[in-house]
Structure 1
Amino acid sequence: MINRVCLVGRLTKDPELKYTPNGVAVANFVLAVNRPFSNQQGERDADFIQIVVWRKQAENAAQFLKKGNLAGVDGRIQTRSYENNEGRRVFVVEVVAESVQFLEPKGSNGQHGNNNQGGLSPSGNHDPFANSGGPIDIGDADLPF
C-alpha cells in the first residue's frame, strides 16, 4: 500500500511550535496549494492543507518559515477523530510531513513575484539569463567540454 503526498504551496500563517510532555517538538501550519485549473470566473482556487511536522524538522520549520513563504512538503496523509467540547465527533485529515523544504531564500519574507530589475540576482551577482530573449554571448573557451 502507498500513502505518499508531495505538495508545494505557501504558508497561510507562521508555524505553531509546541512540545509534547516528553519534550518532543511538533509544529503545525497550513499550506495553501493552488489547484491546477481555473474556476468559472477564471481564478485559481486553492486547497488549504493542514501540515504536522515532528522533532528537529518542526523546530526548523518554526524558526525559518513565516507566513507567505513557499515550502515543499513530502509526507503521508493521516486521519484521526476526536470528540469536541459539544460532544460531537470531529474528523481531521492532515499531512504528516517527513520532509519540509524551504523554497525561497532567507529573508525574502514571502514576497513572490519577480522584482528583479536590471538582471541582478538576489545575491547581487549579474545573471546573464535574466530579462533576455536573445542569444547568449558565450565563447568556445567558456564551455566546459
Structure 2
Amino acid sequence: MNQVSLVGRLAQEPEIFYSKEGKAVAKYRLAVPKMNKKEADFIQCVSFGKTAETIGNYVTKGQQIGVTGRIDTGKYTTREGQTRYYTQVIVPTFTFGAKPQTSSHSTPISEEIPF
C-alpha cells in the first residue's frame, strides 16, 4: 500500500498553474520536522483540481498543514540529455493547521482592550 501522511509547514508560497486541459495544479514544499525537531525534511508535494485551488487561495508560506497522499517517483530527460529522477507526494486531501505568527512582538492585554 502506497500511502503517506505528513504534518509540516509550507517552506515557500505554493506555485499554482493550470494544465492544458484547464485543471489547477499546485506545487509546494512541506518542511516536516525530524524527531530531534532541530532539522526538517523538505518534501515536494503536488495537488490537482479543487484541492490545488484551495491551497493556492488559502495556504501561505509558514502555515502548518497535514497532507495525506501517495509517493510518486519518476524520471525525465533534460534538454541537455541528462536523466533526472524525482520523488514527490501526490496530495488529494489536506487539513489546515496553525497559521504562521506574523510578529514576535506581543501587545499587553491592557493596550488591546480599552477598558
TM-score, structure 1 length as denominator?
Answer: 0.68
Q: Name structure 2 gaps, 5 residues minimum.
A: 110-115
- Structure 1 match to 2:80: 86
The yes-or-no answer on 1:58 pairing with 2:60 is no
Post-superposition offset of 1:29: 0.2
Post-superposition offset of 1:100: 1.4
Moved over 4 A (4+): none
Q: Name structure 1 gaps, 5 residues minimum.
A: 39-43, 119-145
Letter in 1 for 2:53: E
Post-superposition offset of 1:87: 1.1
Between structure 1 and structure 2, the one with the greater Rg is 1
Aligned length: 107
- Structure 1 match to 2:17: 18
Post-superposition offset of 1:45: 1.2
Letter in 2 for 1:46: A
CA distance, structure 1, for counterparts of residue 96 and residue 46 of structure 2: 15
Letter in 2 for 1:67: K
CA distance, structure 2, for counterparts of residue 11 and residue 97 of structure 1: 14
Over aligned residues, Cα RMSD in angstroms?
Answer: 1.9
Letter in 2 for 1:17: I
Deviations 1:12-54 (A, max 9, x none): 111111111111111000000011136xxxxx21100000001
Of all paired residues, the percent bearing the same amino acid is: 38
Letter in 2 for 1:56: K
Q: Secondary structure at the match of 1:63?
A: helix
The yes-or-no answer on 1:7 pairing with 2:16 is no
TM-score, structure 2 length as denominator?
Answer: 0.85
Q: Which has the higher contact order (CA 8 A, sep 6+)?
A: 2
CA distance, structure 2, for counterparts of residue 98 and residue 22 of structure 1: 18
- Structure 2 match to 1:102: 96
Structure (1/2) with the larger strand percentage = 2
- Structure 2 match to 1:27: 26
Post-superposition offset of 1:85: 2.4
